[in-house]
Amino acid sequence: TERKQFVMYSNKQLQKKYIQDYHWDVIHGSLAVGTRGDEMVKFVGAKIRPVYEAILLEAGKEEEVSKHQWEFNVLVRDFPDAYAIPGGKVMFYSALIPVCKNEDGIAFVMSHELGHVLANHYCEGETNQQLGEVAAFALLTVATQGDLDYYTTDFISASMVYTVRAAFNHKKEMEADRIGVILMAKAGYDPASAVEYLDRYDSLMNYMYLIEPNRKDSIRRAELINTYIPEAHKYYNEYVQ
């Protein structure tokens, strides 16, 4: 990304940690193997994978690419969500598949989640958490003159970390959106479908889960994605010609 980042970890260092969580989902959850959603996720993943790896290779990250062990799965879950982690693991929750509606929707979600990995957001998040904990402990030590109990330290530290994460969350989402529409376009999917997906997602969260999206944020996000689409369409047009 163009934004300067301070990170103390690499995707390679974090890969083991997050893959353990992914494997827990695979082992203890129920995979929707053979379903239409599972087939679409795997098909889209096969198209996005070479584009994603080409970006890494262009950045000189041959070793990272060589360590990838790709998996594209759908986990049976009632809540619509998806994630991608360093190492080539992508997981969709089954409730998200109808919201995606088609391959274009799946491509945007997958590209957005992989965008977080490409932009080192996991590395940045871990760094921010560590720095937040250190800052919280230092502040508490000064404020209480060293007279700390466990619960006070734990509570304030958690509050500090949450504040640090929240400050970066919006920027990360916008960065992942921009990377996402470019990634999906390079794989042959229409980037304009990203805004249509966001509208369906907001409607579902409001109707099914009674979670009222922040309309101002939703509109702003759609507006920003629309500013990314002309750049992404150049890659899409190259693919379809």
Question: Beta partners for 85?
Answer: 89
- Is 39 labeled as catalytic in the residue annotation? no
Residues with Cβ within 8 Å of residue 66, at least 6 apart in sequence: none
Which candidate, 188, 182, 140, places its Cα nearest to that of 44?
Answer: 188
Which position among 53, 64, 113, 173 bears the catalytic label? 113
Q: Are 31 and 97 in contact (CB under 8 A)?
A: no
Q: Are 111 and 92 in contact (CB under 8 A)?
A: no
Alpha helices in 29-70 (DSSP H): 36-58, 62-66
Angle, helix 193-207 to helix 215-240, in steps of 10 degrees: 150
CA 97/CA 107 separation, integer angstroms: 11
Q: Are 77 and 95 in contact (CB under 8 A)?
A: yes
CA atoms within 13 A on the CB side of 104: 12
Residues marked active site are found at 113
